[in-house]
A and B are shown apart, each in its own frame.
Chain A
Amino acid sequence: DQQVKQNSPSLSVQEGRISILNCDYTNSMFDYFLWYKKYPAEGPTFLISISSIKDKNEDGRFTVFLNKSAKHLSLHIVPSQPGDSAVYFCAAGEETSGSRLTFGEGTQLTVNP
C-alpha cells in the first residue's frame, strides 16, 4: 500500500522554464510534508517543507503548494537551472507521531540547457 505516490517517474524541462513536480498521498493523518533532492552517488538533501496549517511555502526559486482536500502537493521550481537536474522525493509524516517519514518513489528531473 503506497501511501505517498509520485506518478511521474521523469520530467524534462528547458532551462529558464518552470518545473512542476507532483505528489499524492492517501493517509489523511499526514500533516507534514518535505521535499528532498538527490544527485547520483549522493544521499538525499532536504529542500523545502510545509505543514498542513499552510497551503504554500516559498524558499527562493522553490515553492511547495499543499491541497489538503485533494491530498496533493506540488513543488514548483522557477526558473529551472541545469543544476536542478536530480531525483526529487516527496515525503510525509505525522507531527504527533515522532519522526517516521513515508517517501514517494521519486521523480527524475532533467533541465536541458
Chain B
Amino acid sequence: NAGVTQTPKFQVLKTGQSMTLQCAQDMNHNSMYWYRQDPGMGLRLIYYSASEGTTDKGEVPNGYNVSRLNKREFSLRLESAAPSQTSVYFCASSERAWVNQPQHFGDGTRLSIL
C-alpha cells in the first residue's frame, strides 16, 4: 500500500527555472495538501484542495501554482524558482477536509535552488 507518493525525491534547480512536483495518493481521499518545511519552522501550508475541482491558498502561496489533476493527483508548480523556495516539500491527503481527519504525508521532495 503506497499511500502518498511524491516525485522526485530530490531536485536541484537554477534560479529562474520552472519545475512541477508531483503527488499521487491511492487511498481514495478527497482532500490533498502541499506544505513546505524549513529549518526551525513547522510545516507551512502552501495550497490545498478540499475536493476534486477545487483549490485554495494556504499560508504561503506566493510563487506557486497547483493543479488538482484528478482525485488521485495534486501537483505543485514553481514557475520561476527563487533561492527562497529552497525547502523540503510535503504532499498530504485526508479523507475529508476536516481538521479531525488525520492527514497522511508523503516522504517529501528536497528542493535546492541555486
Enumerate chain A interface residues (CB-CB to B < 8 A).
Answer: 4, 6, 9, 32, 34, 36, 41-46, 49, 51, 89, 91, 93-95, 97-106
Contacts and interface: CB of A to CB of B under 8 A. Distances in A.
Contacts of A42: 107-108
Interface residues of B, number: 29
A49 to B, nearest CB: 7
30 contacts: A6-B42, A32-B100, A41-B107, A41-B108, A43-B90, A43-B92, A43-B108, A44-B43, A44-B90, A45-B104, A46-B104, A49-B100, A89-B42, A95-B98, A95-B100, A97-B99, A98-B50, A98-B97, A98-B98, A98-B99, A99-B31, A99-B48, A99-B94, A99-B97, A99-B98, A99-B103, A100-B58, A101-B43, A105-B41, A105-B42
Interface of B: 4, 31, 33, 40-45, 48, 50, 58-59, 90, 92, 94, 96-108
B103 A101 contact: yes
Contacts of B102: 34, 46, 49
Contacts of A104: 42
Contacts of A97: 99
Contacts of A103: 42-44
